[in-house]
Amino acid sequence: MKQVIATVTSNEQLWGEHKVREHPKYLGAWLIRLKCPEIASEAMPGQFVMIDCGEGCTLPRPFSVHQVEEGSTISIFYAVLPNGRGTAWLSQRKAAEYVGLFGALGNGFSIHPKANKLLLVAGGNGIAPIYFLYREALKKELPVKLLYGTLDDKRCSIFPQTNVVSFTEDGTVGYKGKVTDHLPEHVDWADQIFACGPLPMYKTMAQMPELKDKHVQISLETRMACGVGVCYGCTIRTKSGLKQVCADGPVFDLHEICWDELSGL
């Protein structure tokens, strides 16, 4: 784990959201690139970093590593939340400014050495860590299929479409509906399954008979304070006892989590 001051190399809004009044200019999804070779050289898919988000935020904020570029730069795909002080601050950073962060943290996804076909499932902003895994799998020339569900075409069209099956809730691209609607059809094909998405997606997956006997790695989000296993603020109940999402996760087995005891943020 390294603590660094990174240089912002770019920060672009990928799509905007103007329905909510608080930060109409900034809401939406953004991609920031941070030059930090110390972290980029060790980050693995599913790991995260804690970013210092300015004077208005006493605590750093956790973000998944979305991509590593040229071994020296990481990118973060992030949503600016309504009333989100940290994400609004991040969206206003310009190229050549500095951002403090530490990482890479947590236990990420692990591809089994004998696994061949990888099924990746991303719901909405869950593409953030899944995209890193997708690129790693392509690099290793492993057969990979990404099921990617979003609300509409503007959110869906951001990423390359090789080996991607798209779902949009309004039906503008790919299949109409949620990514979980067609997931059962793809399960038999896969040796290993990885997912990241909102809590309702995981709760639906945990109930699917087709996934009952499958090892499914999911990446979990909770509010975090320290990010390194010290404050216990991210503790959740699992079938093998209490776990800290930052230090034991954020990647867990789908069937290990006591889903009934987890509520939304």
How does strand 216-219 pair with strand 192-196?
A: parallel
**Of the ranges 117-125, 169-177, 232-240, 255-263, which one interacts with ligand FES (CB under 6 A)?**
232-240
Residue 57 binding ligand FAD, by CB under 6 A:
yes
| Least distance to ligand FAD, CB of residue 141, Å | 26
Choosing from 5, 20, 151, 230, the residue that interacts with ligand FES (CB under 6 A) is 230
Residue among 68 and 76 whose Cβ is closer to ligand FAD: 76
Instruction: Report cis status (omega within 30 of 0) of the bond before 60.
Output: no
Per DSSP, what are the bridge partners of residue 10?
33
Q: Does residue number 1 form part of the binding site for ligand FES (CB under 6 A)?
A: no
221 binds ligand FAD (CB under 6 A): yes
Residue spans of beta strands (DSSP E) within 198-240: 216-219, 235-238
Alpha helices in the chain (DSSP H): 37-40, 85-91, 127-139, 153-156, 183-187, 199-206, 245-248
The interface region with ligand FES, picked from 14-22, 123-131, 176-184, 228-236 by CB under 6 A, is: 228-236
Contacting range for ligand FES; rule: CB under 6 A; set: 6-14, 19-27, 200-208, 223-231: 223-231
Residue 48 lies near ligand FAD (rule: CB under 6 A): yes
Q: What is the SS3 assignment for 58-122?
A: CCCEEEECCEEECCCEEEEEEEECCCCHHHHHHHCCCCCCEEEEEEEECECCCCCCCCCCEEEEE
- Binding status of residue 130 toward ligand FAD by CB under 6 A: no
Residues near ligand FAD, by CB under 6 A: 48, 53, 57, 61-64, 76-79, 81, 83-87, 125, 128, 221-222, 224, 250, 265
